[in-house]
Amino acid sequence: MKKKQWGGRFAGSTDALMERLGESVSFDSRLALWDIRASRAHARMLGARGIISPEDSRAILWGLDAIEKEVKAGNVAWDVSLEDVHTNIEAMLIARIGNAGKKLHTARSRNDQIATDVRLWLRDQIDDLLQKLFALRQALVSLAEQYFHVVLPGFTHLQHAQPVLFAHHMLAYYEMFTRDRDRLCEVRKRVNIMPLGSAALAGTPHPIDREMVARELGFDGISANSMDAVSDRDHLIEFCSACALIMTHLSRMAEELVLWSSQEFSFIEIGDAFTTGSSIMPQKKNPDAAELTRGRAAGVIGDLMTLLALVKGLPLTYNRDLQEDKPPLFHAADTTLLCVEVFARMLQTVTVNENAMKRALQQGFLEATDLADYLVSRGVAFREAHEIVGRVVRRCLELQVTLPDLPMEEYQKFSGAFGSDLYEYIRPEVMVARRDVPGGTAPKQVRRALNRVKRVLKQEAEKN
């Protein structure tokens, strides 16, 4: 059924297809509580400034309180013919309190209204995500402490490279997620600027008090330019960019967990709560939580690309295209929040197979670099040492032995600098301990790093 256009400009009705195309309440209704919150602050300001009467302001506040209760109870039937969440709430308000409800929209536009609602909502999502990242970083630190002395092969090109502490490996991901936290904190600063009062694009002739509204809503400041305020979506793009990086980091770790839990590696086992079986193969224990997170990273990266493409050709100021910013934003936030929380809990169920890691240390000639350094310590130039050890490795392949098992007489064929102390020199624990530089994998350095990050987490917890 066709309904009359909203506003007095139109004599005709909206086509049903246009109604379907134009409505946003099917997705922006999730902003209802934030819309009511912003409207409440706006109504108080209008009354305080004498723009509307104190009686009308009080009536509006009463009506908004009642609507908020209905929204929280899930008792609201959203009307798509009213297009969006703002107009739906305004219509409910007018139905409850009469003409006073029609005065709420004084000195504002849906353009600055939606910009404000989204910033309020996004600020809360960032705070929630920061808490979940905190839990994830804690889980990584706990896992690092639990298996502090475990040594495993470090990889480059997915080939055995050099031995490292398992704790050092976990703290590498801690650093990634800490950068993610820092990025979100930076984004939050730019999110927390209030656009309300910019109206449609040029500001308002009414004597409003923007600072009063900003204080009530907890904003750090007000927007400096009304045209930019209603058309700016940089903060959404920045947030989705931060989410895409978080999901990329989760995906990288997911890939390692998938590999490590395979029978070929058997480095770890993920708890039953975060794995699934097969519909046909009863022996299977699939790392589905990790795989699904890896897969969902693609969607969040797509959300970022959607927003960039959405705004790239828009002239100032508001254009209806910007209505389409919310589905990718909501998806990116929902997906990232879920996956970070899943990972934090999944890591608590991970057990490490130290014996499998020890066996893996015996493969791939992880001692080769240290063997070259051994020769350097005895006066051999590094490039020459590199060449010698390469030939030693080739000899091991011919004999089908490892470097620790190669007899000394074989070593002596390649260089007289080799001595019997090399076998101690290339033990995994000794090789790890020698990386005693800041940021290195030596136990002393990793313990210092663990103590540092635990202090950081404690300080963050105290602030919150």
Give catalytic residue positions: 157, 278
d(C-alpha 232, C-alpha 235), whole Å: 8
Q: How many CB atoms lie within 10 A of CB 217?
A: 20
Instruction: Say which residue the tokens 């690092």 belong to.
Output: 144
The DSSP code sequence of 372-422 is HHHHHTTT--HHHHHHHHHHHHHHHHHHT--GGGS-HHHHHHH-TT--TTH
Residues 6+ apart with CB under 8 A from 349: 270, 271, 272, 273, 274
Q: Residue 385 — φ and ψ, nearest 5°?
A: -60, -40
User: Which token pair is 76?
Assistant: 């609201």
CB 2 within 8 A of CB 16: yes
Residue with tokens 């009506």: 63
Output the CA torsion sign for 404, 410, 412, 414: negative
* 348-357 as b/e: b if 16+ CB within 10 A: eebebbeebb
CB proximity list for 275: less than 8 A, separation 6 or greater = 285, 286, 287, 288, 289
Annotate 279-334 with DSSP letters as a single string. Answer: SS-TT--B-HHHHHHHHHHHHHHHHHHHHHHHHTTPPSS--GGGGGGHHHHHHHHH
Which distant-in-sequence residues (6+ apart) come within 8 Å of 315 by Cβ? none
Count other Cβ atoms within 10 Å, centred on residue 309.
10
Q: What number of CA atoms fall less than 13 Å from residue 261's CA on the CB side?
A: 25
